[in-house]
Amino acid sequence: MLGGVRIPHGMGLAGHSDADVLLHAICDALLGAAALGDIGKHFPDSDRKYKDISSLQLLRAVRRLVGSSGFTISNIDSTVLLDEPRIARYVPRMKARIARALQLHEHQISVKATTNEGLGFVGRGEGCAAIATAMIEAKG
């Protein structure tokens, strides 16, 4: 799973939830922008109820946390670091699912990808990374 979309590939990501690294980065960006801690604080891997949970559910919960803390989400910018598989054709679906989970318009969501050109654990195909930033505004 990446950006809420199942990407067919011989390898996948492992984690306590569905291991969607992109959605986890977006959750952390939103929580951090609202000074609410991080994803591990709210959805610890020591809690069995989060085992194999869809990261889209976590993203919706983060949206509610941010909103109940007095903020509205303005936009999301994200980058996936991944050499394989190529994900450009999946980006429109990712943006749509992220936007729906956050109750935003797709034009408020940016999903980009870059490779590591064979360098590091990402370049060797041992994993994937994602970086996200979020702009939020105080309500009212």
- Compute the distance between CA of residue 127 and CA of residue 106 in angstroms, rounded to an integer: 27
> 37-73 burial, b if ≥16 CB within 10 A, otherwise e?
eebeebbeeeeeebeeeebbebbebbbebbbeeebeb
**Helices 55-68/21-33 angle, 10° precision:** 10
Structural domains of the chain, ranges and CATH numbers in brackets: 21-138 (3.30.1330.50)
State pTM to two decimals. Answer: 0.90
Question: What confidence tens digit (pLDDT) does each residue in 41-60 have?
Answer: 999 888 888 777 899 999 99
pLDDT tens track for 20-35 = 999 999 999 999 999 9
Residue 136: is its pLDDT beyond 80? yes
